Amino acid sequence: MATKTNPGNYFEDFRLGQEIRHATPRTITSGDMALYTALYGTRFAVNSSDEFARGLGLPRAPIDDILAFHIVFGKTVPDVSLNAVANLGYASGRFGEPVYVGDTVSTTSTVIGLRQNKDGASGIVYVRSIGTNQRREMVLDYCRWVMVRKKNVDAPVQSSVVPDLPDAVQGGDLIVPHKIHIGSYDFDLAGSRFVWDDYEQGEKIDHVDGMTIEEAEHMMATRLYQNTAKVHFDALMQKGSRFGRRLIYGGHIISLARAISFNGLANAFKVAAINGGRHVAPTFAGDTIYAWSEVVAKTELSGRRDVGALRLRTVATKDKPCADFPYKDSAGTYDPAVVLDFDYTVLLPKRV
Amino acid sequence: MATKTNPGNYFEDFRLGQEIRHATPRTITSGDMALYTALYGTRFAVNSSDEFARGLGLPRAPIDDILAFHIVFGKTVPDVSLNAVANLGYASGRFGEPVYVGDTVSTTSTVIGLRQNKDGASGIVYVRSIGTNQRREMVLDYCRWVMVRKKNVDAPVQSSVVPDLPDAVQGGDLIVPHKIHIGSYDFDLAGSRFVWDDYEQGEKIDHVDGMTIEEAEHMMATRLYQNTAKVHFDALMQKGSRFGRRLIYGGHIISLARAISFNGLANAFKVAAINGGRHVAPTFAGDTIYAWSEVVAKTELSGRRDVGALRLRTVATKDKPCADFPYKDSAGTYDPAVVLDFDYTVLLPKRV
Amino acid sequence: MATKTNPGNYFEDFRLGQEIRHATPRTITSGDMALYTALYGTRFAVNSSDEFARGLGLPRAPIDDILAFHIVFGKTVPDVSLNAVANLGYASGRFGEPVYVGDTVSTTSTVIGLRQNKDGASGIVYVRSIGTNQRREMVLDYCRWVMVRKKNVDAPVQSSVVPDLPDAVQGGDLIVPHKIHIGSYDFDLAGSRFVWDDYEQGEKIDHVDGMTIEEAEHMMATRLYQNTAKVHFDALMQKGSRFGRRLIYGGHIISLARAISFNGLANAFKVAAINGGRHVAPTFAGDTIYAWSEVVAKTELSGRRDVGALRLRTVATKDKPCADFPYKDSAGTYDPAVVLDFDYTVLLPKRV
């Protein structure tokens, strides 16, 4: 009589090149869109209004790109990170086809790297995960690496392979869904007159607004994404952890930061890439999240006069407003208020 | 390099006759309806059941009128009341076309009055806001006035204009959507046998039920309406305010009171007008809201034998049940438990 | 001038054979599905993916059966249990037609038993409730009994009738919606390879995961089901109760237990029957819920080679993990951690 529950994979269970078809395909509903708005207060017009989306050549409002990320990501948790010690990083994330209500999203992953830690008790697993819709079109393709416990410290492991991951998605690899063209873009309705041309490399923007997080909110969000990591839900178990309480899913902070970034980046109508990201410190219910952004680079897109890309670093803090852009000190140590250092690329209309 | 964030408008920024097209058009989804039910527990059959709505001549269940109000209102906040000291009042609110899932709602406002306060540090801004659907049909047309800070106390301002706003929407101005006719109205399914004819002017109804508010609930509601007023979300900033904590959006209390009023007004299937309203005292998470109503007036609608209007005053209290109808003392001072004094007009079936 | 509020029925108001058409028909939306996922984190693929549901012969993903139960149940509260002292039990629950987005669900009940308690202050009311969709097809047919207060202790009551309710729904009475056939069932996407054949009578499964409940969550859930029992919502009133705080709707625990049971029962794609159930102890916000299941019986379904039934007992506890299957001691007294003892029947694919 086999054990029926899923113990998750331990470090020694992964094999280089292993392919995993993750469970729980998910048909996106307008309920997901409403909950996403209720949880983060996002205001990007293209995700809020079918009419506005049509002005960009889209059939109707797609879901927020970061919501698509959470749905794709959540499916990987039971197989990849149920026994994780830490979620270490992201790279090479590219968004493909926009996701619409009615689309069914599935995720598959490939193990692209494995490196045991020196203590032999854990190791780093690198996976490339691809989310697809019901037509097998790619909606998100990204890499992440996590530190995973070994179940048996003495279990033999493969020799180390660490994949060569780029610092950022290159401009030529960015995907602008081919339907998108800036036709009748209405800047009043979008909430800002600032276009791609108005931003400068090195420019810093304090997004001003703060948002305090409640336990009910981050748990509802994380369950909506069908992310099963226990640390987010089980207060009794967490009492015995070093934090003494439930940890908030790091992706919840990404969504808050993106929603807060509307104030200053209202025309960043699409996330095209996730270049990298680090959850610098854990967050808990009661924390108030603020954010600021720096324009890391401006990229012209070949063949596109109407759309340009900005590579951004958005930094989120807890319990510290961002008027003075808290980040790292001269030794490279993060300000203790910083919780997220997120490197991504967004699309904006260009001035015509 | 211009500041990219929205500083909001200060009193001296408004001009009489100024028209503002507000940002963030919003396509209504069934997710909004489900969340509205989850947040308030509303039970009016016409908003709960497509089948029931068809019995009234409607194509399907429209969204709750007060939800439409919140969506229209929320869009005005970044332009009108980001620097508000207080939301002072409402008048002349008329609901037009019912709002359905799939409709895209936008709001425009006109400044109809300006009056600087004697201290010169703030002034009162009167706006008329009109919410429309994607066919440019009016869904809500209402006035409100707010006290807004000046940025520069010495800034010159226009001479005072205070608009002449009526005490109540007149019967002849009430809109009964032309499709509505009381055909196969099922009183069992509606939850009450009391029709327009059964209510008397001056009658008071204790709605009995109480509802305690959580931080997660009022924040999810207020974000769903894309209302960006910081006082509702930023606990850290609010610690330094005179209240020491997050303030609940006043409209959240209107929705609670309307949902609670089902018990006693189950057949008030539509809100036709908002005559006036005052948020008498602030509310906070942990408060338990109760409500009672008085029938202020009964109005026959010309040409309608099947529908009549009741002008109601619904009073909401916190932490005090309403069996003895708490309101004002002989000097006109509100009972300290009162938080909302709401004057509106509803439609009910008439006995045939 | 009649009292307009609903006082609910007291024990002496019920009559044997009485039929009650409950209020508030409800059109199911995809918002309900999204909220259900956000509240419980359920992962059964058939309810999550339209594509997966089509592989079982269904037109698209039906709502979770327990969500259908809550919607049908909620409507009975204002008429049956507004003056209830306790919800005592369930029996003979059979699920019929699956419920889909767009269906409108209504409930009618028949009083099938009445027995006054010896103290004369209350009595037990037995009702059979039937939920139907807009085509009058049965979606759920179940019995429950509740202890209801008398308003007037001296009111005469009918002689006692206690219905003969079966211990369990018999295999021949189980309904497998005729469209369901296990065609292209994908075990990777379902999340487990264990089919009906792999489970043994008497087998116990610890579902491992724990979920802590917040006030905002259980109130949003209970309002979503339009269940109006005040004990769940009014913290001020509850301060004066013997519990001193809001009680969580027992059905919320059923949903949590079912969602948690995915880990070990991922292929139990449908609840076919509720044989019985007991809310052993009350639950409150802050409690962490765990669950384990025992396979009570395995049932072959006549004419079905592709689907089999398991009768399960799922036991939920609070603040106690279930590795040692807490239940009753030798005297039949429940472990103090047990909050739910739920006896139901699920369908799983058979090995072909």
A11-152+167-177+185-349 sits in which CATH class? Answer: alpha beta
> Which one of A48, A269, A320 makes the best mutation probe of the B interface by having the most chain B beta carbons within 10 Å?
A48
C24–B48 CB contact, under 8 Å? yes
pLDDT for the residue B184: 83
> Which one of A50, A58, A192 makes the best mutation probe of the B interface by having the most chain B beta carbons within 10 Å?
A50
Q: Closest residue of A to C217, CA-based?
A: A216
Q: Nearest CA of chain B to the CA of C343: how many Å?
A: 28
In tens, the pLDDT along B139-191 reads: 999 999 999 999 999 998 888 999 999 999 998 899 998 889 898 899 999 99
B198–C6 CB contact, under 8 Å? no
pLDDT for the residue B179: 86
A49–B104 CB contact, under 8 Å? yes
Rounded CA-CA distance A233/A235 in Å is 6
Q: Nearest CA of chain B to the CA of C40: how many Å?
A: 14
C neighbours by CB contacts (3+ pairs under 8 Å): A, B
C2–B52 CB contact, under 8 Å? no
Side-chain-facing half-sphere of B180: CA atoms under 13 Å: 22
In tens, the pLDDT along C203-230 reads: 999 999 999 999 999 999 999 999 999 9
Which residues on C lie below 8 Å from B63 (Cβ)?
Answer: none
pLDDT for the residue B326: 98
Which residues on C lie below 8 Å from B60 (Cβ)?
Answer: 27
pLDDT > 80? residue C33: yes
> What CA–CA distances, in Å, run from C4 to B198, C228, C342?
9, 17, 38
Q: Nearest CA of chain C to the CA of A141: how many Å?
A: 19
Q: Nearest CA of chain A to the CA of C75: how many Å?
A: 23
pLDDT for the residue B183: 80
pLDDT > 80? residue B69: yes
> Which one of C3, C5, C109 makes the best mutation probe of the B interface by having the most chain B beta carbons within 10 Å?
C5
pLDDT for the residue B240: 95
> What CA–CA distances, in Å, run from A326 to A205, A206, A299, A340, B236?
12, 10, 26, 11, 17
pLDDT > 90? residue B85: no
Rounded CA-CA distance A234/A246 in Å is 7
Strands C338-349, C288-300: parallel, antiparallel or unpaired by DSSP? unpaired
> Which one of B132, B137, B220, B228 makes the best mutation probe of the A interface by having the most chain A beta carbons within 10 Å?
B220
Which residues on A lie below 8 Å from B35 (Cβ)?
Answer: 34-35, 38
pLDDT for the residue B158: 80
Residue with structure tokens 């959470």? A70
Percentage of chain C beyond pLDDT 70 is 100
pLDDT for the residue A158: 80
Which residues on B lie below 8 Å from A30 (Cβ)?
Answer: 29-31, 101
C214–B210 CB contact, under 8 Å? no
pLDDT for the residue B44: 98
Which residues on C lie below 8 Å from A134 (Cβ)?
Answer: 51
Range A34-59 average pLDDT: 97
C169-352 matches C9-28+63-165 in CATH topology: yes
Classify domain C9-28+63-165 at the CATH topology level.
Answer: Thiol Ester Dehydrase; Chain A (3.10.129)
Which residues on B lie below 8 Å from A37 (Cβ)?
Answer: 223-224, 226
B288–C29 CB contact, under 8 Å? no
In tens, the pLDDT along C63-86 reads: 999 999 999 999 999 999 998 888
In tens, the pLDDT along A333-350 reads: 999 999 999 999 999 999
Q: Nearest CA of chain B to the CA of A261: how many Å?
A: 9
Report which residue type is found at C177.
P
pLDDT for the residue C178: 81
Residue of A33, A194, A206 lying closest to B29 (CB–CB): A33
Whose CA is closest to A140, among A218, A62, A197? A62
Residue of B1, B22, B26 lying closest to A203 (CB–CB): B1
pLDDT for the residue A2: 81
Residue of C188, C198, C266 lying closest to A21 (CB–CB): C188
Range A240-263 average pLDDT: 97
**Given pLDDT bands bounded at 50, 70 and 90, which one contains residue C150?**
very high
Which residues on C lie below 8 Å from A220 (Cβ)?
Answer: 38-39, 217
If phi > 0 it is left, if psi is from -120 to 50 it is alpha, else beta; for residue C235 that is alpha
In tens, the pLDDT along A202-222 reads: 999 999 999 999 999 999 999
Percentage of chain A beyond pLDDT 90 is 91
The separation between the first and the last C-alpha atoms of chain A, rounded to the nearest angstrom, is 68
A37–B223 CB contact, under 8 Å? yes
Range C166-191 average pLDDT: 91
pLDDT for the residue B202: 98
Q: Nearest CA of chain C to the CA of A51: how many Å?
A: 21
**Given pLDDT bands bounded at 50, 70 and 90, which one contains residue C316?**
very high
Tell which CATH architecture fits domain B11-152+166-349: Roll (3.10)
Number of Cβ within 10 Å of residue B163's Cβ equals 17
> Which one of A200, A211, A246, A319 makes the best mutation probe of the B interface by having the most chain B beta carbons within 10 Å?
A211
pLDDT for the residue A184: 83
In tens, the pLDDT along A146-168 reads: 999 999 999 988 889 999 999 99
Range A226-248 average pLDDT: 96
In CATH, the number for domain C169-352 is: 3.10.129.10
Q: Nearest CA of chain B to the CA of A340: how many Å?
A: 19
Q: Nearest CA of chain B to the CA of A43: how many Å?
A: 6
Which residues on A lie below 8 Å from B30 (Cβ)?
Answer: 30-31, 34
Which residues on B lie below 8 Å from C6 (Cβ)?
Answer: 191-192, 263
pLDDT > 80? residue B1: no
Rounded CA-CA distance A132/B243 in Å is 49
Q: Closest residue of B to A36, CA-based?
A: B224
pLDDT > 90? residue A297: yes
Q: Closest residue of A to C323, CA-based?
A: A5
Number of Cβ within 10 Å of residue C162's Cβ equals 12
pLDDT > 90? residue B192: yes
Arithmetic mean of pLDDT over chain C:
96
If phi > 0 it is left, if psi is from -120 to 50 it is alpha, else beta; for residue A316 that is beta
Rounded CA-CA distance C39/A224 in Å is 8
Residue of B34, B191, B288 lying closest to C236 (CB–CB): B288
DSSP-derived 3-state class of residue B266: coil
Percentage of chain C beyond pLDDT 90 is 91
Residue of A102, A215, A224 lying closest to C38 (CB–CB): A224
Residue of B39, B45, B265 lying closest to C24 (CB–CB): B45
Q: Closest residue of B to A52, CA-based?
A: B25
Q: Token pair for residue C202?
A: 């008497």
Rounded CA-CA distance B196/B301 in Å is 12
pLDDT for the residue B178: 81
C23–B191 CB contact, under 8 Å? yes
The answer to whether A215 and A232 are in contact (CB under 8 A) is no
Residue of C38, C207, C216 lying closest to A5 (CB–CB): C207
pLDDT for the residue A172: 87
Q: Is B15 exposed, middle or buried (0-12, 13-18, 19+ CB in 10 A)?
A: exposed
Burial readout C142-151 (b: 16 or more C-beta within 10 A, e: otherwise): bbbbbbbbbe
> What CA–CA distances, in Å, run from C210 to A80, C247, C316?
20, 19, 10
A neighbours by CB contacts (3+ pairs under 8 Å): B, C
Which residues on A lie below 8 Å from C39 (Cβ)?
Answer: 220, 223
Q: Where are the domains of chain C?
A: 9-28+63-165, 169-352
Q: Tell me what ipTM this predicted complex has.
A: 0.97
Q: Which residues pair with B115 in a beta bridge?
A: B124
Q: Identify which has the larger pLDDT, C177 or B138.
A: B138
The answer to whether A104 and A25 are in contact (CB under 8 A) is yes
B25–A45 CB contact, under 8 Å? yes
Beta-carbon contacts of C119 under 8 Å, excluding residues fewer than 6 positions away, are none
